[in-house]
Chain A
Amino acid sequence: MTMPFYVPPEQVMKDRADYARKGIARGRSLIGMTGSDGIVLVAENPSRTLYKISEIYDRIAFAGVGKYNEFEMLRIAGVRQADVKGYSFAREDVNARSLANAYAQTLGQVFTHELKPYEIEILVAQVGATPDDDEMFQILYDGVVNDKEGFTVLGGQADAVSELMEQRYQAGLDLAAAVKLGAGALAGSDGTPLTASQLEVAMLDRRRARRAFRRVKGDELDALLASS
Chain B
Amino acid sequence: MVAIRYPDGVVMAGDRRATSGYLIASRRIDKVYPADDTSGIAIAGAAGPAVELVRLFQTQLEHYEKIEGETLSLEGKANQLGQLVRGNLPAAMQGFVVVPLFAGFDAHHGGGRVFSFDVTGGKYEEFDFQTNGSGGIHARNWIKAQWREDLTEAETVDLALRALFAAADEDAATGGPDLIRRIFPTVAVIDASGFRSIDDDTIARRADALIGGREEGGDE
Contacts and interface: CB of A to CB of B under 8 A. Distances in A.
A76 B66 CA distance: 8
Interface size classification for chain B = under 10
Interface stretch (B56-64, B130-138, B200-208): B56-64
A146 B55 CA distance: 35
B66 A79 contact: yes
A56 B59 contact: no
Contacts of A80: 63
11 contacts: A51-B69, A54-B66, A54-B69, A55-B66, A76-B67, A79-B66, A79-B67, A83-B59, A83-B66, A86-B59, A87-B56
Interface in A75-98: 76, 79-80, 83, 86-87
Interface of A: 51, 54-56, 76, 79-80, 83, 86-87
Contacts of B63: 79-80, 83
A146 to B, nearest CB: 25
Contacts of B56: 87
Contacts of A55: 66
A87 B59 CA distance: 7
Contacts of A51: 69
A79 B56 CA distance: 15
B48 to A, nearest CB: 16
Nearest to A82: B66
Interface centre among B55, B56, B62, B66 (most CB of A within 10 A): B66
Nearest to B62: A83
Interface string B115-148: 0000000000000000000000000000000000
